Amino acid sequence: MKDREIFAGLMSGTSLDGVDTALASFQGELPETIATSFTPFPSDLKYKLHHLAVADSWRPDELFAAESQLTLLYAEAINDLLQSADIDRSRIHAIGCHGQTIRHRPAINWPYTCQLGNPSLLAEKTGITVIADFRRRDIAAGGEGAPLAPAFHMHVLQHRFPNCAVVNIGGIANITQWSEKANAVVGFDCGPGNILMDAWCSQAFQQNCDHGGQIARTGSINHALLQEMKKEPFFSLSAPKSTGRELFNHDWLQANLQKTASVDDRDILATLTELTAQTICEALNTNTLTHLFVCGGGAHNLFLMERLSRHLPGILVKGTDSAGIDPDFMEAMAFAWLAMRTLARLPGNIPAVTRAQGERILGAIYPA
């Protein structure tokens, strides 16, 4: 333990379920996961963050109050994990904190991205150096600012799986794919992951998600609704591209439901599951693809995993745990790794993925 450089990663995504925390070392050929934890959002914080993500405008007081509450939860997640893992905070070189995205607009005249999380407060409450604000440097260089995890996906998998794709199915689904023949990588957001399924589960079934896909499995795909949703212009955009809750949200779903005849609640959920599966599979280049590894909450939706396999005959579809990385903590591990890259003055983006003008060192450093 004393010889290892340990980094922490914090990730809270568009699913708004809570905070994934990982402690990891990156000195070997494969990353070593030292300890992980999940800290759920209290209901009031989840409500505030959801409101900020969909509201047309914010009051400064509500914005910064939510940011402070979120940051204190980040600090609690770090401090509790260090205590449970019996690791002294002096062993942690830095925390990579992604923050909570409440707006991501890289394609407008004045592009911007906004992640809540006060790195100064986090450094103060943990006594550990914090690396944050990873996305804005890539946007400043002409990029999308997202996705950033593909560099980590390649780092841990490319040498073992030369013709492979990774899909992170959080609130939004994003793909990383590379092939030995093309000697190139692509990475982009391909559409909704769990975000619409979770929203419908909450509205129709008073559940935060469809555990294992059990409800969707009892429904039938409504092809009229599916085709209506697939008319969304985002799906036909060429990569690189990125999106978020500002597009795929409750209002988007309701607008599509109003364009089709009345559909049973279970059929709607089955159709939303199929939308996620189809938009992922149609975004992949299957010519040389041998493996699709799934991480994020979607890896636990067995019905969704079956639909992915059905659309990808001859391709092995598995959770990233089969490749040695816990699917629940792949993204937290990625931001721990990006923090390590920042301190080492190494680039963290892939220009072919984000469309940035070149490789850039990402993030800002907030010393302990």
CATH code for the domain of 286 = 3.30.420.40
Query: 47 lies in a domain?
Result: yes
Q: Which of 281, 275, 299, 283 is nearest to 213 (CA)?
A: 299
pLDDT of residue 297: 95
Tally of domains in the chain: 2
102 with 166, same domain: the answer is no
Q: Does pLDDT of 281 surpass 80?
A: yes
189 with 130, same domain: the answer is no
106: helix, coil or strand?
coil
Q: Each residue of 106-125: pLDDT tens digit?
A: 989 999 999 999 999 999 99
**Domain enclosing residue 100, as ranges:** 6-145+328-366
Average pLDDT over residues 57-82: 98
The whole model's pTM is what? 0.93
Q: Does pLDDT of 1 surpass 60?
A: no
Distance CA 63, CA 47 (A): 12
pLDDT of residue 4: 81
57 with 195, same domain: the answer is no
Contact indicator for 286, 312 with CB cutoff of 8 Å: yes
Binding-site residue numbers are 13-20
61 with 112, same domain: the answer is yes
Query: 184 lies in a domain?
Result: yes
189 with 287, same domain: the answer is yes
pLDDT of residue 235: 98
Distance CA 357, CA 262 (A): 48
Cis peptide before 347 (omega within 30 of 0): no
Q: How far is CA 144 from CA 10, 104, 123, 261, in A?
A: 21, 9, 28, 37
332: helix, coil or strand?
helix
333 with 317, same domain: the answer is no
Q: Each residue of 96-109: pLDDT tens digit?
A: 999 999 999 998 99
302 with 240, same domain: the answer is yes
165 with 125, same domain: the answer is no
Binding-site residue numbers for ATP are 13-20
pLDDT of residue 2: 58
220 with 300, same domain: the answer is yes
Q: Each residue of 177-235: pLDDT tens digit?
A: 999 877 788 999 999 999 999 999 999 999 999 999 999 999 999 999 999 999 999 99
208 with 347, same domain: the answer is no
Q: Each residue of 33-58: pLDDT tens digit?
A: 999 999 999 999 999 999 999 898 99
Query: 267 lies in a domain?
Result: yes
124 with 61, same domain: the answer is yes
- Joined together, the tokens standing for residue 329 give 């903590």
Query: 244 lies in a domain?
Result: yes
pLDDT of residue 325: 94
Average pLDDT over residues 330-335: 98
Q: How far is CA 313 from CA 48, 193, 276, 281, 287, in A?
A: 42, 21, 17, 11, 12
313 with 342, same domain: the answer is no
21 or 54, higher pLDDT: 21
Q: Each residue of 222-275: pLDDT tens digit?
A: 999 999 999 999 999 998 898 988 899 999 999 999 999 899 999 999 999 999
